Structure 1
Amino acid sequence: MSLQDDLTAAAQDELDRAMTLGWAQLSKHTPWGDTFEGFTPEGRDVCFERAYMWEHETGGDIRVEVVVYEPRSYEDGVRLTRTITREGAEG
């Protein structure tokens, strides 16, 4: 597996985990972000950044962003995003 494929697989897994929280839970803590160290599926040492931020306006949809990169190689990392919509959220 190439480096980019490995980083993408790790980012996809982390984004899937980040999306398990609903809008009602996240809206109380948005904006929020964290960086932590971990491993890719191939065992590479990497940094994970997870962030929740308002997509357009406070109280609206929440943008979920995950970046996975090797230490000292942020610019070569993989960034994935999704949106948790307020529509249909229980509150």
Structure 2
Amino acid sequence: MDRFESDLEEAARDELDRACTLGWRQLAAHTPWGDTFEGFTPGGREVCFERSYLWEGEARGDIRVELTVYQREAYEQGVRLTRTIAREDR
């Protein structure tokens, strides 16, 4: 992995951690939902953060959080990470 990819991945991991700070109950009311915003990587690159909260399978089940970090002109070279937030009452 080169420094460019490593920088994007570090930014994606950090933002994914933030995206998962709310619990299932708080997120379920807003799922499915997503947004895109601009920010900076730890290395100072200007990038876009695309965040989505989706149902993993059936509605009101587990929530899949998807996070993609990319430079505006190079979406295909971005880094995409996912994490699942399990439904709390199981």
TM-score with structure 1 length normalisation?
0.94
Q: Stretches of 4+ moved more than 3 A in 1?
A: none
Task: Note the C-alpha offset of 1:72.
Answer: 1.2
Local SS of the residue matching 1:76: strand
- Stretches of structure 1 that go unaligned for 5 or more consecutive residues are none
Q: Distance in 1 between matches of 2:79 and 2:55?
A: 21
Partner of residue 37, structure 1: 38
Residue deviations 1:46-89 (CA, integer Å, cap 9, x gap):
00001000000100000000000011100000000000000447
Q: Distance in 1 between matches of 2:28 and 2:17?
A: 18
Partner of residue 61, structure 1: 62
Partner of residue 12, structure 1: 13
Structure-to-structure mapping, 1:20-35, within 5 angstroms: 20-35=21-36
RMSD: 1.2
Higher share of residues assigned strand: 2
Q: Distance in 2 between matches of 1:11 and 1:88?
A: 29
% identity of equivalent residues: 67
Residue deviations 1:7-31 (CA, integer Å, cap 9, x gap):
0000000000001010000000000
Partner of residue 50, structure 2: 49
Q: Distance in 2 between matches of 1:87 and 1:22?
A: 8
